[in-house]
Structure formats: C-alpha cells, structure tokens
Amino acid sequence: MAAPHEIENLTAKAFFPRLGEPLPKVFKVKCTDGIELHCFLHKACPKATRGQTSSQTLVYFHGNGEVVGNILRRSDMKGLPFLFDAFCVLGIDIFLVEYRGYGTSGGSPSIDALISDVGPVHEALNVPQESIIVMGRCPGLDH
C-alpha cells in the first residue's frame, strides 16, 4: 500500500485545478423578429485601461459547431483563449456573439438570420462603429 506522502505527490501530478475567473456580463440581444441572442461581454483588464472605459471592442463570431461556452471554459479552442487574453491586456473589450439556435440563444440558425442579426448586435453594444473590430471563424469550415 502506498504511503500518504506518495498519494499526495500523485494527486498533485494528476489534478490541475484552475482558479475561478469572473464570468463576462450576459447581454440578451433582441432581434427584429423577437428572437433573443445571448451574448457575452468580457471587459478589458482594468490595469490595461487604467480605470478608463475601453476605446475598442472586439466582436467575435464563433465557428460552426462551437458555442460561446467553449470559449468561456477555455476548452478546445486551439489558441483562441490566449488571443483573447492578449486583447484583454491591450485594453480591448470582447463581445462574444452566440448565433441563433446555438448555446442558449433562441431561434434556428441561417445565413439570412446571421446577416439580419448584425444590426441588433451593434445596437446592443452601444459603442461607436469606428471602435469595433470584427473577428470570426467561418461557420461551416473545418478548422
């Protein structure tokens, strides 16, 4: 039978708990046809903005088969969480858009719906258009 110190050593090598991270603010975006999208705002690091409001917002549209929860949990996103950390450190807010029919957003996904939802997403942000950076992974493409 293993000694207690050997079990503790094995446990330390087998488990890698992450500290809890503050969850982003949930935004419920009402679309023109009444469908509600659940989006998330991840604020820039306070040190990067020196207590000021961020001057830029990255609007991120995830790829097909992904959901915002994957990004928030930092699971299998192949480098994206680290890219988001870089934006945070640079003082850029990140607005994660959950498509219709994905995650907890209502409705059914379609290209037409995605295009029509851009306006309500922009309005919900309530930031000047020139301060928005748009980034995404093309739905339907393998990554």
- Domain assignment of residue 90, yes or no: yes
Give 45's pLDDT tier (boundaries 50, 70, 90).
confident
Looking at residue 42, its pLDDT comes to: 83
- Domain assignment of residue 29, yes or no: yes
Count CB atoms within 10 A of the CB of residue 93. Answer: 23
- Domain assignment of residue 143, yes or no: no
The structural domain count of the chain equals: 1
Closest CA to 105 of 115, 117, 123: 117
- Domain assignment of residue 2, yes or no: no
In 13-100, at which residue ranges do the beta strands (DSSP E only) sit? 25-30, 36-42, 56-61, 92-97
β partners of residue 96: 40, 60
Closest CA to 79 of 91, 92, 70, 90: 70
- Domain assignment of residue 6, yes or no: no
Contacts made by residues 24-29, CB under 8 angstroms, sequence distance 24+? 24/72, 24/94, 24/96, 27/95, 27/124, 29/117, 29/120, 29/121, 29/124
Range of the domain at 38: 23-136
Predicted structure pTM score: 0.72
- Domain assignment of residue 4, yes or no: no
For residue 34, the domain's CATH number is 3.40.50.1820
Backbone angles phi, psi at 83, to 5 degrees: -65, -40
- Domain assignment of residue 47, yes or no: yes
Q: How confident is the model over 96-138, as pLDDT tens digits? A: 999 999 988 999 988 889 899 999 999 999 999 999 999 887 6
- Domain assignment of residue 10, yes or no: no
Share of the chain above pLDDT 70, in %: 64
- Residue 142 pLDDT > 50: no
Give 91's pLDDT tier (boundaries 50, 70, 90).
confident
Using an 8 Å Cβ cutoff, are 105 and 113 in contact?
Answer: no
